[in-house]
A and B are shown apart, each in its own frame.
Chain A
Amino acid sequence: DTGVSQNPRHKITKRGQNVTFRCDPISEHNRLYWYRQTLGQGPEFLTYFQNEAQLEKSRLLSDRFSAERPKGSFSTLEIQRTEQGDSAMYLCASSLGPGLGFFGPGTRLTVL
């Protein structure tokens, strides 16, 4: 499978716990994006990387959210002290430069 993969696919956690998601992009893609999608909305931009550099982070993202892409390959998104409002589908996409992005299957987070 040479597409974008994300793990885990589903995560249920209690409020206040930390969670970490992983995204493995298509291997030759240098750009990696994180989005959040809630019911009835389009993808909401969170952050993106070009190689290992984090180029932009949404102002909507609180300090509880952090993302890394240490070697310019896979990326992790961590949410600390989760809140019920963090419940959403977290999508990762990768692209070769500013080209058409290919999305992973997403990680659905439920915060109880």
Chain B
Amino acid sequence: ILNVEQSPQSLHVQEGDSTNFTCSFPSSNFYALHWYRWETAKSPEALFVMTLNGDEKKKGRISATLNTKEGYSYLYIKGSQPEDSATYLCAFPVGNNRKLIWGLGTSLAVNP
């Protein structure tokens, strides 16, 4: 059974804090890792697709790194703002058809 695990499950930080969370995935047969941002009452927003070991992607104050050998990716948010409050999901394509296996997400709350 292939599992994608995310930690922590939830996080509460103060405005201005920097934070990071983890996505762990099977390291064998790696193809790619996707990060999504999901705000309440909206649909998931694509953030990054990571494909190469050592990849680092950045979008504004959000960045992500990838270690395919040990099977983890970190998502970093620098100087968190209340509008960053959302659930951050990672997804891992598997099988010949690359179906996405999802983590349960990290729920981030940024207090003003």
Contact = CB atoms under 8 A, between A and B. Distances in A.
27 contacts: A33-B100, A42-B102, A42-B105, A45-B100, A45-B102, A48-B97, A48-B99, A50-B97, A56-B97, A56-B99, A91-B43, A91-B44, A93-B44, A97-B98, A98-B31, A98-B97, A99-B49, A100-B46, A100-B49, A101-B34, A103-B43, A103-B45, A103-B46, A104-B43, A105-B42, A105-B43, A106-B43
Interface of A: 33, 41-43, 45, 48, 50, 55-56, 91, 93, 97-106
B46 A102 contact: yes
Contact of B99 (A45, A91, A99, A100): A45
B62 interface: no
Contacts of B45: 103
Nearest to B46: A100
B110 interface: no
Q: How many residues of B sit at the interface, in one of the four size bands?
A: 20 to 34
Contacts of B104: 41-42
Contacts of A48: 97, 99
B42 A43 contact: no
Nearest to B47: A100
A98 B93 contact: yes
Contacts of B99: 45, 48, 56
